[in-house]
Amino acid sequence: QVQLVESGGELVQAGGSLRLSCAASGRTFSSYIMGWFRQTPGKEREFVAAITRTGVNTYYADSLKGRFTVSRDNAKNTVYLQMNSLKPEDTAVYYCAAALTSSYYYLIDSYNYWGQGTQVTVSS
């Protein structure tokens, strides 16, 4: 069992930056692939980014490459999502998730544990 708590979401102007954090407790953090997803009302939750256990490999939704960066600090049991050049369409609740396997990191069903989400609002 692992517990995930996101933080860092807030209201920001378009063009600004935010860094989200996801703190994990419970089982060994480094055992998990970590992912970020986001969801807006009326839409399905969508993949944002993922990072492998050691942090060597990262993966992104095609539309977000170059603006978002995922990283992790296994010593701090924390995964981060750096978001730059934010756009109003980035407005969503952002969730972090943990997966024990890594077959399909972009699929919601691959993840075993989820945080409660943090709201990011980008104003135009």
Residue-wise pLDDT tens digits, 56-98 = 999 999 999 899 999 999 999 999 999 999 999 999 999 999 9
* Length of the chain, in residues: 124
Answer for the pair 117, 92: CB distance below 8 angstroms, yes or no: no
Q: Which pLDDT value is given to residue 94?
A: 98
Rg (CA), the chain: 13
Residue 100 to residue 51: CA distance in whole angstroms: 12
- Where helices occur in the chain by DSSP H, the ranges are none
| pLDDT tier, 112 (very low <50, low <70, confident <90, very high otherwise) | very high
The model's pLDDT over 11-41, given as tens digits with 9 standing for 90+, comes to: 999 999 999 999 999 768 999 999 999 999 9
pLDDT band at 1 (very low <50, low <70, confident <90, very high): confident
Q: Tell me, what DSSP letter sits at residue 10?
A: -
